[in-house]
Amino acid sequence: MLMSKLKNKFINRDLSWLSFNERVLQEGMDETVPLVERLKFLGIYSSNMDEFFRVRIATVKRLGKTYKGDINETLAGYTQKELLGELHDKIQSLQFEFERTFNGIIQALEKKGIQLINEKQLNREHKKFVHTYFNELVRPALFPIILNKTKSLPQLSDKSVYLIIRFAEQSFGKQNDYALIEIPNSLPRFVELPNKSQQKTIIFLDDVIRENLSSIFKQFSASEIEAYTIKITRDAELDLDTTDLTQGVMDRIAKSVKARKQGQPVRLVYDKEVPADVLDFLSTRLKVSKKDELISGGRYHNMRDLIKFPNFGRQDLVYQLPKPALHPALISEKHDMIKEMNKADILVHYPYQTFNYFIDTLRDAALDPLVTSIRITLYRIAENSFVTNALINAAKNGKNVVAVVELQARFDEENNIYWAKKMQEEGVKVIFGVPGYKVHSKICLITRKAGGKTSYYANIGTGNYNEKTAKLYGDLSLFTSNPKITSEIKQLFNFFENNLAKVKFKNLLVSPINTRSSFLELIEKEIENAKKGKTAYIKLKMNNLVDPVLIDKLYKASQAGVKVELIIRSVCCLIPGKKNLSENIQAKSIIDAYLEHSRIYIFANGGRTKCYISSSDWMIRNLDLRYEVSTPILDRSLVNEIEMIFDTQWNDNTKSRIIDKNLQNNYFSSLAPACSAQTFLSSYYQNKIIKN
């Protein structure tokens, strides 16, 4: 009975996540999207699926061994076996759709003069080039390993793709022995072949190796050498050693990241043409013989590499995205961010407007003789980071620079460790967060002393201080000198530096302190206003809506007559539009050229709209296990702008999908003229400069 009730009340988060990745796949299927961009979406889909297995499937498998509570409740009414079976069937279905879509795009590219061929389609000229390319560049990077039924299998990396080699009828009497070749990550996955015409011809690196198998194994006298692509995926959970107190936090995490490479396999993807004896050999050695761990695929794996598929400079094959616009208040090349913040709050919307404003702020602060300190939280740092370089420059200029670096940002641990060490070496004080919690907030505080007065300038955002992702992720960034905000940002940084300090917040919502309780109160107020006949609505935009307590509260709001609009990029465990439960709740999801990443929380508040931007989704981890910051927008003109942004995205009728219980991903349509929110917003910000 409990399981049935849970299924009627919540969507399982893993099934919802697969539905999100299906929306990504839909962009690959969309014939209105430029062809190379369609391949990129397939690459994103593939990369997402890798992470899904490394994190979510691994977690579900681990639940039976480690979870102390009711697994059925955690899995929204599913048993572990039921859920893994349903996930496997859905993944296999999506894999079929992926292969069909990939083949269709390749055929469409051929009509555009770009041909992808395999080793069996090489002409004489191409064969000559492939053999030369192999001998000069590929052979030195190959280290084949001979396998047999008695020799143990080497450690396979889940970042690599392999060719499993099968020998047939060898003259020295050994049959069905195997070999393994790791396809080098150091070389481009796609190799352009020479052509005298305008035709472009590409071959996978995998097939360059296949063409040269007889050369690689020239000592063998097998009558036939077969090669099949395989890929392993491992559990990505970090197992931190907390017993060795002689090790620093960086050393412990670095050790755990290294151990992750030997995690338990959770998936083996294999070429569906692989012979039964090869698959049996691999699955037995890797201990992935269960149905849900074996995924039949096509000839090629590690398709995240499609993100790097060449476009040959063809504008018709890629998005024509405008350069980020300037902010109307910051058009002058000599703009001073601190002076502008003294005048008014500034809201910047990435990637429609440039992230350079934040870099400028750090650079100006580093040079300003009156600035005494810069404090910042860093969650995902860019590989070549202008942000950290600006902080190092500030430290060299004598500023007190404090960086709160989250070393456990999943899959970015090694990069964050590198930059943490680099900053420490250059005089930046690096803090590794709060014991037992991740620091996921996006905040920066600059302290300036002039004429005996100390002033504070803050930046609070929805996305990471990462100039690379700021070009692709839709995020909001608030620059303010309002003491109501800056004083509390200062208080939080004081806590990060001294975890013993007591902290209370009147304006900011800070997890795990008051975020959950504050949002519950805000929803409750809408319920009360609806019952009194006052204006009552809630507009929420986030990446993931999972928390059962807040979902229950939204159900109560719906039943009280509060209109609730949800824009959820990824996971939505709430069931919208269900009679007697959520009739007043609608949910949509937008997948387009830019990744929708901003978190926006808007409440009618009886006619005096309350608006927050946040680093936090509505998940248990964001509300209770991380330090997150949601800031109120106190400037009414900016509240209006953010509500305009939300409404524009809500009315998108070209890239918006409806979220429902059946996870059908139907496109939202309306009688209004076709409108892509991202296209509209891009034009809006460009025109805003012209008008000003």
Inter-axis angle of helices 80-111 and 35-51, to 10 degrees?
160
Residues counted in the chain: 692
Q: 351 preceded by cis ω (within 30°)?
A: yes
Give the helix ranges, DSSP H, for 67-79: 71-74
Q: Is 88 a catalytic residue?
A: no
CA proximity to 153, closest of 262, 300, 57: 262
Report residue 332 CA to chain centroid gap. Answer: 34
Tokens 């996305």 identify what position?
A: 463
HSE (CB half, 13 Å, CA atoms) of 599? Answer: 26
What region does 193 belong to: left with phi over 0, alpha with psi -120 to 50, or beta? beta
Q: Give dist(CA 226, CA 217) in Å, integer.
A: 12
Contacts of 138 by beta carbon, 8 Å cutoff, 6+ apart: 184, 187, 205, 208, 209, 212
Report residue 464 CA to chain centroid gap. Answer: 11
Structure tokens at 306: 């499609």
Structure tokens at 491: 């208080």
Structure tokens at 77: 């009414």
CA proximity to 156, closest of 49, 301, 18, 277: 301
Distances 430 to 16, 269, 442, 488 between C-alpha atoms, Å: 38, 41, 16, 21
Instruction: State the catalytic residue, choosing from 126, 301, 327, 440.
Output: 440
Q: Give dist(CA 429, CA 426) in Å, integer.
A: 9
CB 623 within 8 A of CB 515: yes
3-state secondary structure of 611: strand
Q: In a 10 Å sphere around its CB, with 0-12 CB exposed, 13-18 middle and 19+ buried, how is residue 394 labelled?
A: buried
Q: Quick one: DSSP state of residue 288? A: -
Complete DSSP assignment for 151-166:
SPPPPPPTT--EEEEE
CA proximity to 361, closest of 378, 374, 377, 379: 374
What are the two backbone dihedrals, phi and then psi, of residue 641, each rounded to the nearest 5 degrees? -65, -40
The catalytic residue positions are 440
